Amino acid sequence: MTSDLPVGYDISADPARLDRAVIHRWLSEDSYWALGRSREKQDAAMANSLNFGVYERATGVQLGYARVVTDQATFAWLCDVYIDRGSRGKGLGRALVSAVCDHLAPYGLRRVLLATADAHTVYAKAGFTPLEKPEKWMARGAQ
């Protein structure tokens, strides 16, 4: 799906390949943004989103995940990006974000947003920048 992907790995948007139990464990137990998220909530989020997985080619084991909420016409929100702790530092996160952006490109979206506390450089390499006018944006709910 992307030329940035290290040899020996695959990225897929095939929902049948997703290891939903592993994804739930990663997000609900190890991410700072989804701690405690229920399996039912995670399954519902996945059912209503585009989902991407990173897989070790030789074994088929899932090593990463990303989710996109989008209308596929004007807007998308990239979220729940996670690489298994034992697989970090190999460029898989950068490749995953790049593959997601490549997948979204044909939609001609006006804007793709994300929020991160600690991975700004990963996203910057895929073309993300800070909001030009953050004072225009508002949110409702937990911040």
pLDDT digits (tens, 9 = 90+) for 94-111: 999 999 999 999 999 999
Q: How many Å apart are CA 45 and CA 26, to the nearest integer? A: 15
pLDDT digits (tens, 9 = 90+) for 43-82: 999 999 999 999 999 999 999 999 999 999 999 999 999 9
Q: At what angle do helices 39-47 and 20-30 cross, to 10 degrees?
A: 120
